[in-house]
Amino acid sequence: MKHSYEPAIKSLIVRLHKGNLVLPLNLMAELVTGSELAPSMHPGVEGWLHWRNRQIPVVSLESLCMAEEAGESDEGKCLILHTVSALPGLPFIALRVQGGLNTLEILPDTLRDDHSGNVQRCPYVARQVRASHLLCFIPDLPAIEAAVAEVLQLTAEQREPLLSE
């Protein structure tokens, strides 16, 4: 009998205001202090972070899920991620996080689905799991990126008339 070997996925566990996220480590670009955000008038985008000569949209999973009003975290940190969707003009997004990063190697049997306290299903959360005894969310990054891209498209449409005047 042949056993198939599935390699562990190096992952991050990052703290949110209420809860934790699990993300593949290879998506992380940098963890930065994001206290100086340019304001955003769009729901779902908390602000814009100037990072390496780019403006990166900052989102909060909790705000997107309407779990709470968009609010500053105590520490004002942003986790800059490479996007997973091939959306033009959106190579990075930033997630509002708290604290530092913990790494974890995830094997196929490491994560256990956990539906406790899952009163309201959020379209931006792919799974709610237990990892290292912590309740964690696996974000639906394509859905988050599509929502941000939609906001950016609206922004571009609103700016076009100004350019043609």
| 14 assigned to some structural domain | yes
| 98 assigned to some structural domain | yes
- In the chain, the number of structural domains is 1
> What is the model's pTM?
0.79
Backbone angles phi, psi at 108, to 5 degrees: -55, -30
Q: How far apart are CA 9 and CA 25, in angstroms?
A: 8
| 4 assigned to some structural domain | no
The CATH number of the domain where 155 resides is what? 2.40.50.180
Residues facing 98 on adjacent strands: 15
Residues facing 137 on adjacent strands: 21, 128
| 49 assigned to some structural domain | yes
Q: Is 85 helix (H, G, I), strand (E, B) or coil?
A: coil
Give the pLDDT of residue 118. 53
| 82 assigned to some structural domain | yes
| 1 assigned to some structural domain | no
pLDDT mean over 113-127: 72
> Which region among 7-16, 82-91, 129-138 has the lowest average model confidence (pLDDT)?
129-138
Using CA atoms of 69, 132, 74, 125 in order, give the dihedral in degrees to the nearest 10. Answer: -20
Structural domain harbouring 44: 9-164
| 3 assigned to some structural domain | no
Q: By percentage, how much of the chain surpasses pLDDT 70?
A: 77
| 62 assigned to some structural domain | yes
